[in-house]
Amino acid sequence: MDSRGQSAQQQAAAQRRRQLLEAAERVVLRDGPGASMNAIAAEAGITKPILYRHFGDKGGLYKALAKRHTDALLDALRAALDAPAERRARVEATLDTYLAAIEANPQVYRFLMHPAEDAAPLDQSFDIGRHSAPLLRRLGEELAKVIEERIDLGPDGGQRARIWGHGIVGMMHAAGDWWLGERPCARQELVTTMADLLWGRLASAADRPGGPGF
Amino acid sequence: MDSRGQSAQQQAAAQRRRQLLEAAERVVLRDGPGASMNAIAAEAGITKPILYRHFGDKGGLYKALAKRHTDALLDALRAALDAPAERRARVEATLDTYLAAIEANPQVYRFLMHPAEDAAPLDQSFDIGRHSAPLLRRLGEELAKVIEERIDLGPDGGQRARIWGHGIVGMMHAAGDWWLGERPCARQELVTTMADLLWGRLASAADRPGGPGF
DNA sequence: AGACTGTAGTTACCAGTGGTAACCAGTGGA
DNA sequence: TCCACTGGTTACCACTGGTAACTACAGTCT
């Protein structure tokens, strides 16, 4: 074996795989998540069966395609989360990083959030959320880990941290999705307002005069 | 026209439509969101084309199917939101209502959240989130309305209310989805912990000893 | 040289999907 | 009796994901 522990053939195969993934990405960006395997193969200058040899099935291709972006996003978020600053600043930086990413290329993140409903016809077992949004799950778990490591939440803190992790990620995602569709305000304002929500301003805000509180 | 403003024929058609929807619901609950039009038609004891006469296309059927459940859920949530109690109690009641609903029949809500990626092949315009989760959008807007009506958020309060509305709904959804998959704790604990998050406990919690704060 | 093996690539196909055109049968009214 | 209408059907279309069977060319061993 050579210095990297793989033969020249394996290396060539890996490079080919990268080329195919790039072609697939071009097509998905152009045609949306419903892009067909035929279209992807054509873009790569080949035909379907070799795609299947490399990636098994469409899910495999999409998973490989997703991995690169999720890893990149996760790295960026971890960096924001680990920056040397006080808690509020970190939260805002993390939110802003996420929003900047989805703003930069929305198609990619639409694809990541809704990756190919497969729905095996004979699968009796009900698998809610397994294919729904793996990226969100990963983000939630990751955030939960950071929260648990850094904040003292008393007994059962692990449980609380996970709930908060998934909850905050969901908040970020839903608000970001809505914002991206309507663009009702600047990114900074969205970030500040969401951080305010996490800082308890919903609880401390005054009732509107003349009605029962929310 | 008769007392309800429709002929007997129209009335019969509406009833037929209801029957078809019930059959469709049975199939979707059994086979998941990927259920085929053929299967639905067979369950209703008929064949495809009359489904298309009634609902136009699959999206139409699914939209009609979704409407009933979303309306029911929205009503329940509005009731919890409007109950005569203090703010915290209302928030908890609303969260609990949502979680109880998705717990009661998860399949229905999985269907509502991911209703049939259509992705018209020639649609160049990028429509992030338009088909992704109409129910979540509706919930977000609804909550935003309630927040705006009842809480004084100063100038630009409408904007803030919408951000919070979508954010809170996203939090509720993501945490609920995760919880439903793993069932790591009782519903009540999830509700309390999420409400704590909204009440600013993330901001007020102490750092873990020996590290920079989150 | 010549045979053997493995791999990239092809064509041609399969079952099943959403969707539609054309037709058939019964029913009420002129 | 003939006409329009309506619920329903069969038979099809283009296309999808996925696969089997084949060709063509690389390298290797005898």
Task: Report pLDDT digits (tens) over A126-139.
Answer: 333 343 467 899 99
Residue B186 near chain A (CB below 8 Å): no
pLDDT value of position B208 = 82
Contact (Cβ atoms closer than 8 angstroms) between residue A74 and residue A142: yes
What is the rounded average pLDDT of the residues A85-100?
97
Q: Given a cut of 90, is residue B166 above it in pLDDT? A: yes
Indicate the pLDDT class of residue B75, thresholds 50, 70 and 90: very high
Mean pLDDT of B58-81: 92
What is the pLDDT confidence band of residue A111, given thresholds at 50, 70 and 90? confident
Rounded-to-integer distance, Cα B63 and Cα A142, Å: 35
Q: What percent of chain B has pLDDT over 70?
A: 84
Digit-coded pLDDT (tens) for A9-44 = 677 788 899 999 999 999 999 988 889 999 999 999
Among chain A residues, CA nearest to B192:
A160
- Those of residues 37-96 in A touching chain B at CB distance below 8 A are 81, 84, 86-88, 90-91
Mean pLDDT of A73-88: 93
Q: Which residues contact A214 (CB under 8 A, 6 or more apart)?
A: A207, B81, B87, B90, B91, B146, B147, B150, B151
Residue B86: is its pLDDT beyond 80? yes
| Domains with residue ranges and CATH for chain B | 8-56 (1.10.10), 66-203 (1.10.357)
For residue B109, the 8-state DSSP code is H
* A212 close to B150: Cβ distance less than 8 angstroms: yes
Instruction: Evaluate if the CB of A130 falls below 7 Å from strand D.
Output: no
- From the list A63, A61, A65, A64, the residue with the least C-alpha distance to A50 is A61
Inform me whether the pLDDT recorded for A125 exceeds 90.
Answer: no
d(CA A119, CA A105) in angstroms, rounded, equals 28
Closest protein residue to D20 using CA and C1' atoms? A49
Average pLDDT, chain B: 85
